[in-house]
Amino acid sequence: MDVRDLHGWPATAEEAEEIQDRLRPLLDLDGPGPQAPRLIAGLDVSYEGDGGGQGGRLAAAVVVLDAATLDVVEESVVTGTAAFPYVPGLLAFRELPALVEALRRLSATPDLLVCDGYGLAHPRRFGLACHLGVLTGLPSMGIAKTPFVGAYDPPGERRGDASPVRHDGEVVGRVLRTRDGVKPVFVSVGHRVDLDTACRHALALTPRYRLPETTRRADRLSRDALADLASPA
DNA sequence: GCGACAG
DNA sequence: ATCTTGTCGC
């Protein structure tokens, strides 16, 4: 049983957008959110072949880290198929079923979910991080590698420097420099956490590299799972 | 009307 | 996301 059986699944972009509009009011944006989480989960999905259409093979990974040491506490990875074609703004409908299943197989309950992509900084204010937060009830946030919606001024060159991302007259996220002189990342809240707290977690998760350890670990795990699919050990 | 467009 | 060679820098 997966999320598609619970509420059906959109067959068209219009239906998908309706679902986002219907779930958005369920978001908790009051914050501040977890200040000292013990377990932080990273989520990522890898695709096989041309990862643009629907039905292609994929691997969804969740890696739970000890927030204090960034050591891996638990891993979960599932293979499946893309549940929707890639459409900017509708990424969640592609990856949600596999990600939710991977989360379901976890024995630990994370205090925070860190997604590879956006939360509130989304055309309809309901990116993947928001959707996962509402479905699980867990605090969630997104860290994306490239710009999507909104305008911003380039942040300063030092780690920790940041500037707001504005869209339709609202601050929907923050461009954050996680390493000195390296291209910044885009942080936005998902559910039950505020932007300041999300950025603090983003910095805590990047002691060495531009991308957070959560997504680095989940990316490697999902990639390896796909490789094993092609040529099992 | 014409581009741009998370992963 | 994935497909791919070489190249610059620590």
CATH number, span A36-230 = 3.30.2170.10
CA of A215: nucleotide with nearest C1': B7
Q: Identify the DSSP state of A189.
A: E
Q: Identify the DSSP state of A151.
A: B
A233 pLDDT above the threshold of 80? no
Torsion of CA A61, A191, A4, A215, to 10 degrees: -10
A199 pLDDT above the threshold of 80? yes
For chain A residues 121-160, those near strand B by a CB cutoff of 7 A are 122, 127-129, 142, 144-148
Residue A79 Cβ under 7 A from any strand C atom: no
Every domain of chain A and the residues it spans: 36-230
The whole-number average pLDDT for the span A47-73 is 95
Q: What share of chain A is helix, strand, coil (3-state, %, to 5)?
A: 30, 25, 45
Q: Tell me how far apart the alpha carbons of residues A164 and A196 are, in angstroms, rounded to a whole number.
A: 11
Residue A200 Cβ under 7 A from any strand C atom: no
Residue A46 Cβ under 7 A from any strand C atom: yes
Burial class, A135, CB count within 10 angstroms (exposed 0-12 / middle 13-18 / buried 19+): buried
Q: Tell me how far apart the alpha carbons of residues A90 and A96 are, in angstroms, rounded to a whole number.
A: 11
Across chain A, mean pLDDT equals: 96
Cα angle A84, A88, A90; round to 5 = 45
Per-residue model confidence (pLDDT) at position A87: 97
HSE at residue A124, side-chain half, CA atoms within 13 A, is: 20
pLDDT in tens, A120-145: 999 999 999 999 999 999 999 999 99
The pLDDT confidence band at residue A2, using thresholds 50, 70 and 90, is confident
Q: Tell me how far apart the alpha carbons of residues A133 and A61 are, in angstroms, rounded to a whole number.
A: 16
Per-residue model confidence (pLDDT) at position A182: 95
Burial class, A161, CB count within 10 angstroms (exposed 0-12 / middle 13-18 / buried 19+): middle
The whole-number average pLDDT for the span A166-183 is 96
Nucleotides on strand B lying under 7 Å from protein C-beta: 5-7
Type and span of the H or E element at A128: helix A128-136
**Which amino acid is present at A47?**
Y
The whole-number average pLDDT for the span A153-167 is 96
Q: What residues contact A224, with CB distance under 8 A and at least 6 apart? A: none
Q: Identify the DSSP state of A129.
A: H
Find the residue closest to B6 using CA and C1' atoms.
Answer: A117
Residue A87 Cβ under 7 A from any strand C atom: no
Q: Tell me how far apart the alpha carbons of residues A89 and A123 are, in angstroms, rounded to a whole number.
A: 6
The pLDDT confidence band at residue A5, using thresholds 50, 70 and 90, is confident
Residue A89 Cβ under 7 A from any strand B atom: yes
Separation between the CA of A218 and the C1’ of C7 (whole angstroms): 29
A1 pLDDT above the threshold of 80? no
Residue A52 Cβ under 7 A from any strand C atom: yes
Separation between the CA of A207 and the C1’ of C8 (whole angstroms): 24
A160 pLDDT above the threshold of 70? yes
Residue A44 Cβ under 7 A from any strand B atom: yes
Per-residue model confidence (pLDDT) at position A109: 98
pLDDT in tens, A66-84: 999 999 999 999 999 999 9
A58 pLDDT above the threshold of 80? yes
